[in-house]
Structure 1
Amino acid sequence: MNKKLPPISSKAPVMLHGADYNPEQWLRYPEVLQEDIRLMKLSGSNVMSVGIFSWVSLEPEEGVFQFGWLDNLLDSFEANGIYAFLATPSGSRPAWMSAKYPEVLRVERNRVRNLHGVRHNHCYTSPVYREKTALINSKLAERYAHHPAVIGWHISNEFGGECHCELCQTAFRDWLKVKYDHNLDELNHAWWATFWSHTYTSWEQIESPAPHGETQVHGLNLDWRRFVSERTIDFCQHEIDSVRSYNPELPITTNMHNIDGVDYRELAKILDVISWDAYPDWHYTEDDDDARLAAWTAFHHDMYRTFKHKPYLLMESTPSLTNWQSVSKLKRPGMHKLSSLQAIAHGSDSVQYFQWRKSRGSSEKFHGAVLDHSGHGETRVFRDVAEVGRTLAGLTDVVGTTTPVETAIIFDWDNRWAIKDAQGIRNSGLRYEETVVEHYRGLWELGIPVDVIGSGDELSAYKLVIAPMQYLITEENGKRIEKYVEQGGTFLATYWSGVVGETDLCHLGGFPGPLRRTLGIWAEETEGLHSRDLNGVVMQDGNFLKLTGEYDAHEIAELIHLEGAEALGHYRSDFYAGRPALTLHRLGEGKAYHLATRVKDQGFYVDLYAAIADKAGIRRTLDCELPTGVTAQLRTDGEQEYIFVQNFSGREQTVVLDNQEYTDLETGTAAPEVLNLEVNGLVMLKRKV
């Protein structure tokens, strides 16, 4: 039974609502700072993230510290019932440091050292940078770790990027020596370095990938990405160590945003609380499909929740628009509340924004904010924010609740990095993330909660595990999946799975490698299709899932042979017409499905997972039909269930509830049998377990 967990901070056992706040930009305008406090309270904001890029305001000269402005701010917060996540300022260092210690500046792939500027332009290996960050962090911790307004540490900001300086090259070689047990022959074999005579004969010959150097040894590329990720995580740990001891009770987080460079599943292991920054470009998808974008965003919400299987923080979002998307559209009426509550529905205990007040100058002066340059609250955006504040104030009972989940999707960083480097079948776009979300959306449309796990995570808690395009998989993890199925689990894999192992060497003996016995198939060939090519999956009469008709397929098609599996559907056309396209293999007490082609019709994934879920006994949030683009997500404390019915379809919708008794969370009254959902609308319900 799911139980309620403690709030993220015992000081603030409520839904957190607030923004990034940069008072150092307004120190010459004391009237602005005073007005900010009034408007924060008016908007229902109770927490601000402060100090994120404040280093030069805290240490204007080396060894000269000034904290008066931050003292005044935190004291004012305390007096007005507002809390703070206090940031370490390492995301952007002062110019004096760059001038005096050039080693702190990052070196790019072309081996040119950067000038001072932008943010995260620093070397995570640099001893000087580590020394300086530890000093400023310890000064902050010594002064504020027990301040009544401070409820947690916000370590740096959106870690990312890579450095190719000599310090990092040496660290990379040392990392490789440990990984390959100081055996250069093992490294050369793992990287298949005999290809193009790329064999290394000394460790000093190894360089990180470079546009004017090595780019084609995929094992090197993959290990470099792993090293960069581990180096980044190690730097974050260095920052955590510099503040933790001053008050071990303060929870520590760092906000995640760009999944390209850092394995967030590994980063999550050193954090107390997960937080992330969500900036979907609502109303701007090429097909004008906000539901597709909502599923994409929901997938990421679920991924961050799954890292620790407990509530997380939406640390940044925009209350209106951004200034960096290709087109900066305003949120349509209702979308701010809907998108904010989407985070709550998937497990967040906060809604926070970037930023509180628009900067007057520089690169983010037109980025969305709670307060525009007009400086007052008589705006549509401020009213939208205040409405969310009032709603969150009524959801205190939801704080600490968890999500009961019976289905998981595997999403691995190693696999993602390797797929993007594969140089095979469809270089115009393998679309790994899009494929994962296609499968996820089928479950999302059905209102089936999902965990997003790694291939090394425990599987036994799930009735269904889905692994789209599990291109990289180790023999060990293949055996774990095989055992999971034999013991009664249901598993689904797709084309382009089981191709390479840990160092990006192809599995020998036939694909899908370690999954071949589990799936009961041999994949002889995999073909990339042009955008103009179209095939299809024709369902076999009387198949186990009782699916009927046919579905268009495109982009990727795999030619497979049955080795114990049965065909549920066949290809429609081309020279492989009639060959298996969707299969089922019964292994031990469980079942394993294989989808050999990328199906174009999104409705297929809804039909497929509705049938599989029914066979596996997987519960939906609501036992009723949901219109396309409408989903229902669930949180519970073990006694009450809180249900969020959300309409991303772009049109008015109705949902006929099942026969259970529901209470409307916002009104406290009995919910009607038929929910009327406005465009961009949602209804929040409660029912007894």
Structure 2
Amino acid sequence: MIQRYPPINPRFPHFLHGGDYNPDQWPEEVWAEDMRLMKLANCNAMSVGIFAWARLEPEEGRYDFSWLDRVMDLLAENGAYAVLATPSGARPAWLSQKYPEVLRVRSDRGRNLHGIRHNHCMTSPVYRQKTQAINRALAERYKDHPALLVWHISNEYNGECHCDLCQAAFRNWLKKKYDNDLDKLNKAWWTSFWSHTYTDWEQIESPSPIGEPILHGLNLDWKRYSNDQTIDFFLNEIQPLRELTPNVPVTTNFMGLFPGLNYPKFAQYVDVVSWDNYPVWHTTGSDWRLAAQVSFIHDQNRSMKGGKPFMLMESTPSNTNWQPIPKLKRPGMHKLSSLQAVAHGSDTVQYFQWRKSRGSAEKFHGAVVDHVGHEHTRVFKDVSELGAILRQLDPVIGTTVHPDVAIYLDWENRWAIEDMQALGRDRRNYTDTVIAHYLPFWKRGIPVDVIAEEAEISQYKLVIVPMLYMLKPGVAERIRAFVKNGGTLVMTYWSGIVDENDLCFLGGWPGNGLREVLGIWDEETDTITPEERNRVLPVPGNELGLSGGFEARDYFALIHAEGARVLATFGNDFYAGRPALTVNDFGKGQAYYVASRNDEAFMDSFFGKLAERLDLLRALPAELPEGVTAQLRSDGQNRFIFVMNFNPAPATVDLGAASYRSLLSGQSVTGPLGLPAYGVEILQA
């Protein structure tokens, strides 16, 4: 049963709408004008102090909060709130000068100079002490302030450090993982290859281009350690906030599919997930295909906490200056792309930035208030219009969706695939492959959860597992139980190859018992040139009703059916006639194996048949034109359906005889629903 989640902070049960506000960059006479403009833009929440450490602590131990006091008071007096940041993302120069140990060391063992952002060692006791001290001072000062709504911890955590402090911390992490037993580590990393066996813990160093860069077990554990060290640094940051403001939620802004951090693991430690969204609209040749990719990431952020609404912490109201083609959003796209986040579970729409910086790296980055300084701009009007819409959407706050479908996207599996010496170097494309399996559902308006290997899966009808090269402990067992108890599994080529230490399974792939579930043996995999193609030919009379033929490329698993029924075969090469698609009955469920990387027509046909067979939950019982999707949020009684047209031309959706109420106009909606270019409608059923 779907139930409504509480608001991000119950003190404000509405959509947050606002942006990164940097009053420390501007003279105070501008602040009053900011307050006037915020009201006109229908903004109610500002992220404050993200990179303000040098202003908050101009010299060691001397805090100056007087300016921030006035900003917080101004926000409260004008009916707005603060998403108040801790400033660790960019430390002041005095700190680097006095304590050089806080400067990050690169993998080539050279130490960075002071500069940019996140150029700090997360192991450094000095940096941990200094960040916790200023965070405590902030919490003590503002714990009872009426403007404080959410804590914004640091900013876009990223990077790693290879200094001596981090080397020692890494060794301690390894000792804990391997029970202080070097033999266990050597076995897990298969160090007997190339005579890499370690005989003393001090011999172990982090991966380096001037040392050991290709020992896969070492590389994988280093990434895990760096991830854990980042989380530990985060926990150090929030300790005084938890102590002094236990009822104020904490978050830190993730960066979509950024490969450096395992976000599903990190998400366990935040109260609400938030992320920064910067698509390159109007530059890829197909806005709707880009929209599907963005939808996938929104779904992934919602799924990381089991369906709990997330925060769109950053987006741009116009363009993004650091992208290769910083194109402006076309009319309608700001509203559409913002409500797209809401459709997939966001309870906020926030921007970088409120007022365009006058200088430095992002002075040409999009903003609500342009350099001209007034409200008479196209972008400001777009933002104001969206803010007015968000004020109408209180019934949507806290609602969610419980899909019938889940797709695996696992960070550690991604790390291992990117590091392995197999399948060539330029076309592994793990995340793109996962998104290709998501696209057929987006086209049909079928909600999807995007989950990591550790997630529970018993609640789904259909679980899709593309390229799950690495099987961590318990994963095969959960998959086995899922199918045995009646679930439908789809697994692809290059799955079940190695264990959590990147050691190959012996006895035939897919390993760890999945061979029996799938009813196949994957003997070997062919990698062909980028120009070559093969054919996937459905077997006449196959039980899914697949017909015609499909194009396949890149990778081909040469499999043997061991109890599985063959639904399609390969058309060309020496493996012509061998199985390309199989299904196996296992317990009460079924397990499909897709043996090649197939074209979009195959994906649409195959998953379309499964969607019909399994009667999967859909947002809208209607055929959707190309480039149009429908997404669903619900509180268990009311259904809120977001119908979105990502085409530069109008589109029409036939709603049939069903009647809905528009949350945008308040009018009854039935029959043909016309959507303008980049148009959106929100229907209540």
TM-score for the superposition, normalised by structure 2: 0.98
Residue matched to 1:643: 641
Counterpart residue identity of residue 303, structure 1: Q
Distance 1:651 1:599, change over 3 A: farther
SS, match of residue 536 in structure 2: strand
Residue matched to 2:237: 239
Shift of 1:30: 2.6
SS, match of residue 209 in structure 1: coil
Residue matched to 1:439: 437
Does the aligned pair in 2 maintain the 1:426–1:529 contact within 8 Å? Answer: no
Residue matched to 1:521: 520
Shift of 1:140: 0.2
CA distance in 2, matches of 1:476, 1:312: 28
Residue matched to 2:21: 21
SS, match of residue 541 in structure 2: coil
CA distance in 2, matches of 1:550, 1:270: 47
SS, match of residue 244 in structure 2: coil
Counterpart residue identity of residue 559, structure 1: L
Residue matched to 1:467: 465
CA distance in 1, matches of 2:292, 2:236: 35
Shift of 1:129: 0.3
Residue matched to 2:295: 298
Residue matched to 1:123: 121
Shift of 1:475: 5.4
Give the alignment of 1:552-567 within 5 angstroms. 552-567=551-566
Cα deviations across residues 605-660 of structure 1 (Å, max 9, x unaligned)? 22222211222221211112111221110001111100001112333211111433
CA distance in 2, matches of 1:133, 1:658: 58
Does the aligned pair in 2 maintain the 1:642–1:685 contact within 8 Å? Answer: yes
SS, match of residue 110 in structure 1: coil
Does the aligned pair in 1 maintain the 2:124–2:165 contact within 8 Å? Answer: yes
Match of 1:289 among 283, 286, 289: 286
Residue matched to 2:584: 585
Q: Quote the RMSD (CA, aligned, Å).
A: 1.1
Match of 2:503 among 502, 505, 530: 505
Shift of 1:558: 1.2
Residue matched to 2:544: 545
Distance 1:388 1:171, change over 3 A: same
Residue matched to 2:39: 41
Shift of 1:672: 2.9
Larger mean CA deviation between 420-429 and 494-503 belongs to 420-429
Cα deviations across residues 392-413 of structure 1 (Å, max 9, x unaligned)? 1110110011112111011111
SS, match of residue 606 in structure 2: helix
Residue matched to 1:12: 12
Shift of 1:379: 1.0
Shift of 1:426: 2.1
Residue matched to 1:176: 174
Give the alignment of 1:249-288 within 5 angstroms. 249-257=247-255, 259-285=258-284, 288=285
Residue matched to 1:488: 486
SS, match of residue 59 in structure 2: coil
Cα deviations across residues 253-272 of structure 1 (Å, max 9, x unaligned)? 11111621111111111111
SS, match of residue 672 in structure 1: strand
Larger mean CA deviation between 369-378 and 80-89 belongs to 369-378
Residue matched to 1:536: 535
SS, match of residue 598 in structure 1: strand
User: Is 1:573 aligned to residue 572 of structure 2?
Assistant: yes
Shift of 1:377: 1.3
Cα deviations across residues 381-429 of structure 1 (Å, max 9, x unaligned)? 1111111111111101100111121110111111010000011022122
Counterpart residue identity of residue 289, structure 2: R
Residue matched to 1:331: 329
Larger mean CA deviation between 56-65 and 243-252 belongs to 243-252
Does the aligned pair in 1 maintain the 2:441–2:447 contact within 8 Å? Answer: yes
Match of 1:676 among 659, 674, 677: 674
SS, match of residue 357 in structure 1: coil
Does the aligned pair in 1 maintain the 2:658–2:671 contact within 8 Å? Answer: no
SS, match of residue 20 in structure 1: strand
CA distance in 2, matches of 1:284, 1:507: 43
CA distance in 1, matches of 2:637, 2:93: 55
Counterpart residue identity of residue 495, structure 1: Y
Counterpart residue identity of residue 648, structure 1: F
CA distance in 2, matches of 1:604, 1:681: 29
Counterpart residue identity of residue 553, structure 2: H
CA distance in 2, matches of 1:51, 1:89: 7
Does the aligned pair in 1 maintain the 2:253–2:274 contact within 8 Å? Answer: yes
Q: Structure 1 regions of 5+ residues with no counterpart?
A: none
Larger mean CA deviation between 386-395 and 649-658 belongs to 649-658
Does the aligned pair in 2 maintain the 1:585–1:593 contact within 8 Å? Answer: yes
Cα deviations across residues 523-542 of structure 1 (Å, max 9, x unaligned)? 11112221111112111222
SS, match of residue 522 in structure 1: strand
CA distance in 1, matches of 2:8, 2:527: 47
Does the aligned pair in 1 maintain the 2:659–2:670 contact within 8 Å? Answer: no
Larger mean CA deviation between 461-470 and 532-541 belongs to 532-541
CA distance in 2, matches of 1:578, 1:656: 42
Counterpart residue identity of residue 284, structure 1: T
CA distance in 1, matches of 2:52, 2:193: 49
Cα deviations across residues 200-251 of structure 1 (Å, max 9, x unaligned)? 1111010100011101100000000000000000000111112111121101
Q: Structure 2 regions of 5+ residues with no counterpart?
A: none
Counterpart residue identity of residue 375, structure 2: G
CA distance in 2, matches of 1:436, 1:34: 48
Counterpart residue identity of residue 190, structure 1: A
Match of 1:218 among 216, 219, 222: 216
Does the aligned pair in 2 maintain the 1:105–1:123 contact within 8 Å? Answer: yes
Give the alignment of 1:75-94 within 5 angstroms. 75-94=73-92
Cα deviations across residues 652-673 of structure 1 (Å, max 9, x unaligned)? 2111114332111111111131
Does the aligned pair in 2 maintain the 1:442–1:603 contact within 8 Å? Answer: no
Match of 1:367 among 354, 360, 365: 365
Counterpart residue identity of residue 305, structure 1: R
Residue matched to 1:230: 228
SS, match of residue 49 in structure 1: strand
SS, match of residue 162 in structure 1: coil
CA distance in 2, matches of 1:197, 1:120: 37
CA distance in 1, matches of 2:617, 2:409: 22
Distance 1:257 1:606, change over 3 A: same
Shift of 1:453: 1.2
User: Is 1:60 aligned to residue 66 of structure 2?
Assistant: no
SS, match of residue 502 in structure 2: coil
Give the alignment of 1:590-601 within 5 angstroms. 590-600=589-599
Distance 1:650 1:570, change over 3 A: farther
SS, match of residue 660 in structure 1: strand
Cα deviations across residues 408-453 of structure 1 (Å, max 9, x unaligned)? 0111111010000011022122000000000011111111111111
Give the alignment of 1:348-387 within 5 angstroms. 348-387=346-385
Counterpart residue identity of residue 19, structure 2: A
Counterpart residue identity of residue 616, structure 1: L
CA distance in 2, matches of 1:378, 1:597: 54
Counterpart residue identity of residue 12, structure 1: F
Counterpart residue identity of residue 13, structure 1: P
Does the aligned pair in 1 maintain the 2:18–2:46 contact within 8 Å? Answer: yes
